[in-house]
Structure 1
């Protein structure tokens, strides 16, 4: 049913993007704004969130499991001021992890202002710098929201000072340096302009959005020819692709004939079948949406992100948003192990290729190229988590595949080979500072800044600059060196000439030499050889990596050997078998652990490490070839 809705005057419209580092409370704040706007009752929001502690906008399973936002989302709230004026606020929730920066870059074009969330204890972090820089490049002035001020170790004033220093470092203009500060607790649902004046709701935040965020400047272009750029894509089983964007000029109407222009300049005629506007968490079908507002369009297939929907009589394309290039690539290939095809539904190179092509339609920071053979694809992304989320989604959809070791993408700048350089921030206890410095010193890291967070916490804040390839396998070693107490975050700074060698994995691996079921008897006999990734009863095959050797170099072992049955009484009992606790290897941990001659085999039910060449004689022959060359 089509809803007849009056066009919102641009003066009463606000488009706001909420940006922050991961886990600083963006999605929690949006949930509270939805609740306090009066659109939903608390029971409805709890049901939408999937439980008492769920988040509404973290809608897919991976987002709720990991507690992070992966894809940007739109919603709208209506706020009535104490004077009785009604405003519509379009909220854009953005990812906080650096690997999903492509999502942030493309959706900032829909916003007229930003809410910059900063944790009252942690202050600005690497991703804060990244998203803030992108918003400043678009001329968006931030409202600084210091969240989690109710934390026992909160230091809100120090966090505000650090935000100011960051803005100065980013060469922000003087009017941006004079930013408004709001202190808030998103979890408790309150905000205040002064910590000495407590509050019990988010009204000060709504008032500052109305007062500080400018109305969309293109709202005065209602009489111009239509211009809308697609920044997000959605899909419905009933209507196909749904194109989401901001109307930059004119009015978009239902059943309107338009021209769709792709970034290369070619255009084609289409007709809009439905125009959807945002109301709370829902999309309602309306007759028209005017310049300055956000909307979703149905009936324009085929359409991609970056396309311009424009007037049929006077088509004018909008400039496409430049997206930062990927920094990491991996080889995706068909799984050819002995256990392939037993778990998954999609195992062929054609099916994998089609799935990657589908991902390219909405994942603007991803690149896919042909590999060395027809069974391989070279997939490039922003980071390990960016590619890991893609692989995890494919695994849950029923795909089986193998992926190789992540490699950084080198560039040639002014005739010199350069590599990506990252900023790494580590918060760790004072007692672990030496271990952290020693670990990063071996990986060609340069200490940029060191400070103490507070006198009572006993934590030290360290900032480093290091090559991106030095981060491979660093997280597990960092957690081991600090007894699991270190907190790490990183983001790409730029490109610099290639540094020297970075230490590789110090220990070798234990490689199975037979196919079968692992036995406690065999694992007991190998107790002192290292740490195992498998447990008794697991199915293994020749060439599978079953554990980490306790010394350098690979060791071929038999983990399926059973105890010979005789009629002689044994002096000991099988119950006395000693098996070390298994090291659980997640998908990201397995990807970090790899060396050049190894693969991760991913299936819907398991994640296994294996050698590229499964047969031991073939691995030896390959090693001799490399040594002779």
Structure 2
């Protein structure tokens, strides 16, 4: 066990975690040069294209150190985006140490600080690594100062590397071996193993990624999941070495995989504790937290005959992604669909793109919303994330919405615009901490619903890309939330209804009305498009009718003849307006929501 090192790589998004992992894998001979490609641990095309890690991955490497010993290195790659912080949390639970990667040109950013606190929560040993030293803008001395001031780590222990060129990789491997501690545990104790990830194989079912804390697991053992209370029998276990490498046992301190005939990721809970049914452990591993969905949106197929395809596609995605939840939903305008729960906007974006790319389904997605808590006048409490289920306003006593504590790191010159942006998004409290020369941390409490739409994009724009953002949920607070209906020709369109704070309702309603007026084709009669809260109209746009000059055929004669024809046309238009139906094209729904999301 002294020759095992379990570690993960944590950093802010785009600081070079995956590239560093690639160099470590190559240096340890974990993959042949012929099989090597960039971002070895990123298995999805979308991850490679966007240059982001969405799903954490793991690999077992062997490294012969300068002291002559052969070490087993278990590397767990983690995502950097705030949406997937629960994956980072589980990866940290499976490790004793972590490489804290900091970009030599960007310095310490918000997610770096957030991951530091997560690592401290699990008492991990941290080894700072300064990456991208080959860049012209790299400033290693300044970054060492930030590591000391912002993270409180030893700046002289930080290893300067260039993951792109391979410079300093040997130093990182020696640092892992000598600086990070070996695992502890008793091979003969009752089994305790943490399921920190899982993925689906269509031939073998769910393959569990586990870290054995205590005891020894062998094939044919009957395992028991302590949180979900399910039992399975191990068919095979071993190490992850890009191919599954079967072994006769997995002992305390080791990281590996288990195949146990699990049919779907929904059958188990990621973060659960495994023990042996015949000789169970007394308590599960502490720190388990289920993934919490914070963003909700309805997904409809572009054409109604693709509903069955969408059903199968969501089933397949949910087999692989335990954090995705969905239930049946329907809309008078768009037909049958699903109400889905996501971990954040990036998660929503990734699922949408995977549905379109992997299953070739055209989608219409409703405006994302968060979960509101309502206290009714009869004493009941309700949780509502769908505008369709919003009760009659006269029955609501009070409404509460989720708040977050946002942590924004920015250069000093952008503090004013950043604080103004927070105020625009209904920030309730703002504090500033001066971290190091020219760098400021702005901590602000604001509603989660305000961050969903355009906050992150605006932050990047006003700070010229230097601002970074991280958040954590705080609590529910009372607020004035209203349901805004969009009426087309005085008929409410349920797919376009949304929940919003009263102060922001008019601006967004006006945006919806203007977008629809551009996209809906003209009819023979005038079409009003209105935004309404209950019976009060708060915004309006009008689509002008086609005009036909019915008096064109007249040549002279009395003016009453002209009036008679115009009166007849007026009655016809009124009748048409009364009985005519407005056909709303699918692209109108897409344009409204897409423009809103941008």
Normalization by structure 1: what TM-score? 0.67
The structure having more radius of gyration, on CA atoms, is 2
Determine whether 1:463 maps to 2:429: no
> Counterparts of 1:48-63 in structure 2 under 5 Å?
48-49=37-38, 55-63=39-47
What SS does structure 2 have at the residue aligned with 1:358?
A: helix
CA distance in 1 between counterparts of 2:237 and 2:174 reads 30
Instruction: Determine the structure 2 residue equivalent to 1:205.
Output: 172
Residues of 1 paired with 2:374 and 2:103: CA distance? 38
Cα-to-partner distance string for 1:305-353 (whole Å, 9 max, x where unaligned)? 2444433421236336432663623232444xxx5247x57456x5476
> Do structure 1's residue 259 and structure 2's residue 223 form an aligned pair?
yes
1:422 aligns with 2:405: yes
Q: Quick one: distance in 2 between partners of 1:515 and 1:601?
A: 9
Change (3 A) 1:556 1:490: farther
Q: Does 1:44 align with 2:27?
A: no
CA deviation after TM superposition for structure 1 residue 148, in Å: 2.1
Q: Does 1:288 align with 2:249?
A: yes
Q: What corresponds to 1:34 in structure 2?
A: 25
Which residue of the partner structure matches residue 407 of structure 1? 369
8 A Cα contact 1:330 1:406, kept in partner:
yes
Distance 1:557 1:35, change over 3 A: farther
Going from structure 1 to structure 2, the CA distance change for 1:16 and 1:314 (only over 3 Å counts) comes to same
User: How far is 1:16 from its partner?
Assistant: 0.5
CA distance in 2, matches of 1:77, 1:465: 42
Structure 2 gaps of 5+ residues are 376-397, 481-500, 523-527, 530-537, 548-583
1:244 and 2:213 correspond = no
1:389 to 350, 365, 374: 350
Alpha carbons 2:328, 2:339 under 8 Å: kept: yes
| Superposed CA offset, 1:30-71 (max 9, x none) | 1011112234454532xx33xxxxx22222111112111000
Runs (4 or more) in structure 1 with deviation over 6 Å come to 176-179, 450-455, 513-516, 599-602
Of 140-149 and 281-290, deviating more is 281-290
**Do the aligned residues in 2 keep the contact of 1:435 with 1:481 (CA within 8 Å)?**
no
The Cα offsets for residues 525-584 of structure 1, whole Å up to 9 and x where unpaired, read as xxxxxxxxxxxxxxxxx99xxxxxxxx95535589x99xxxxxxxxxxxxxxxxxxxxxx
Q: What is the aligned partner in structure 2 of residue 276 from structure 1?
A: 238
TM-score (norm 2): 0.70
- Partners of 1:72 and 1:257 lie apart in 2 by 27
Partner SS for 1:608: helix
Aligned-residue CA RMSD (Å): 4.3
Q: 2:469 pairs with 484, 489, 514, which one?
A: 489
**Distance in 2, Cα, partners of 1:29 & 1:267:** 38
CA distance in 2, matches of 1:495, 1:399: 37
1:439-480, Cα deviation, whole Å (9 max, x unpaired): 43322345533769878xxxx756341413332333487279
Please give the alpha-carbon distance, in whole angstroms, between the structure 1 residues aligned to 2:542 and 2:95. 58
Report matched runs for 1:317-396 at 5 Å.
318-319=284-285, 321-323=287-289, 326=292, 328-335=294-301, 340-341=303-304, 344=306, 346=308, 350-351=311-312, 354=315, 357-358=318-319, 362-364=321-323, 366-368=324-326, 375=336, 377-396=338-357
Equivalences for residues 7-26 of structure 1 within 5 A: 10-26=1-17
Aligned residue in 2 for 1:448: 431
1:173 matched residue in structure 2? none
CA separation of 1:85 and 1:447: change in aligned 2, threshold 3 A: same
Q: Which residue of 1 aligns with 2:278?
A: 313
* Deviation, structure 1 residue 112: 1.4
**Where in structure 1 are there 5+ consecutive unaligned residues?**
1-9, 50-54, 169-175, 192-201, 523-541, 544-551, 563-598, 613-629
Cα offsets for 1:70-121 (capped at 9, x unmatched): 0000012211122321111110000000001121112222211111111223
Which has the larger helix fraction?
Answer: 2
Aligned residues of 2:209 and 2:257 also touching (Cα < 8 A): yes
Q: Is the 8 A contact 1:143 1:179 kept in 2?
A: no
Count how many residue pairs are aligned between Structure 1 and Structure 2.
492
Q: Aligned pair in 2 of structure 1 residues 491, 14: CA closer, same or farther (>3 Å)?
A: same
Q: CA distance change for structure 1 residues 103 and 493 in 2, over 3 Å: closer, same or farther?
A: same
CA distance in 2 between counterparts of 1:185 and 1:178 reads: 17
Question: Which residue number corresponds to residue 380 of structure 2?
Answer: none
Distance 1:183 1:321 in 2: 33
What do the CA deviations read for 1:142-194 (whole angstroms, capped 9, x no partner)? Answer: 111122233333333443343344446xxxxxxx7798322222222122xxx
Query: Is the alpha carbon distance of 1:557 and 1:352 closer, same or farther for their aligned partners in structure 2, counting shifts above 3 Å?
Result: farther
Contact 2:294 2:342 (8 Å CA) reproduced: yes
CA distance in 2, matches of 1:84, 1:600: 70
Q: Does residue 1:145 correspond to 2:110, yes or no?
A: no
1:481 Cα deviation from its structure 2 partner: 6.4
Q: What is the distance in 2 between the residues matched to 1:268 and 1:490?
A: 38
- Residues 406-441 of structure 1: CA deviation (Å, up to 9, x unaligned): 22335699x9946322324264795x7655544433
SS of 1:44's equivalent? coil
TM-superposed CA distance for 1:26, in Å, is 0.7
Partner of 1:3: none
1:186 aligned to which of 163, 168, 174: 163
- The residue aligned with 1:508 is 511
Output the CA distance in 1 between the equivalents of 2:449 and 2:472. Answer: 12
